[in-house]
Amino acid sequence: MKPVFKDKVIAITGASAGIGKELALQLAEQKALLVLGARNIEKLEAVAQQCREKGAEAIAVQVDVAIENQCKNFIDSAINKFNRLDVLINNTGITMWAKFEEIKDMSILQHIMQVNYMGSVYCTHYALPHLKASKGRLVGISSLTGKSGVPTRSGYAASKHAMAGFFDTLRIELKESGVSVTMIYPGFVATEVRERALGPDGKPIKKSPVKEKQVMTPQQCAALIIPAMDKRKRELVMTLRGKLGIWLKLIAPSLVDKIALKAIEKGK
């Protein structure tokens, strides 16, 4: 792949594991200038070191995207280090695995919305003036649940639908600014996110209900995202099932409901 992101300043949230980590490693191979954010600073620093070993510059910034002033600090750290920002990848996410009627603590839904939606809003707010200056790129890592509701994921689907509405609106508002907005809609990806998924009691379920060996790897996912960023695509729906689902929802919505239920039951 042509190193289109060489010397581009790229900030990635949720970069200590999963898709965010793999994006960092693959962009490091292009010699990007990386600003990596996550809550776990030890894991994050390990990823930053791996990026440096690939010849990239990388800094690790501890950030909980649910807290606005930490998002400001994350973006400020990028500017203080590199004096500009070319790409913001809003990747941090938390999920759930519980039917709505089984949820005992409603604060679960508020927490998911705060991390997945408001975390993207906060980081984007502070990044936007710098992205306008560089005519840069905004990227939101959503999910197929941002296109269609899925059983056991009510709060997660709501947060991803909110992300979609927010970034689709921004795309229109920023049309004349030179800033592109790319939304990414993966299906199941083999990351730790489902082991940390919140159950009905608000605690991580610890064991993934998905057949992780039968779904897309983070490496495959990142390898699809980076060209979409390069081309400033409007959106990327990754799976055939996801693409079909969008069309079927227009003509046979009840069938999409059945497909979503089956996917959760099969765990893939």
Active site residues: 156
Cα distances (angstroms) measured from residue 177 to each of 129, 134, 227:
10, 10, 22
Alpha carbons 166 and 242: distance in angstroms, whole number: 21
Q: From 71, 69, 54, 63, select the one nearest 16 (Cα to Cα).
A: 63
Closest CA relative to residue 2, chosen from 226, 268, 242, 253: 226
Q: What does the buried/exposed string (b/e) look like for 255-264 if buried means 16 or more CB atoms within 10 Å of the residue's CB?
A: ebeebbeebb
Q: What is the C-alpha to C-alpha distance for residues 165 and 142, in angstroms, rounded to an integer?
A: 11
Q: Where are the alpha helices (DSSP H) in the chain?
A: 18-28, 41-53, 68-82, 107-113, 119-134, 154-173, 218-230, 240-251, 253-266
Alpha-carbon distance 42 to 100, whole Å?
A: 35
For residue 143, the cross-strand partners are none
Give the residue from 158, 201, 182, 197 showing the smallest Cα distance to 89.
182
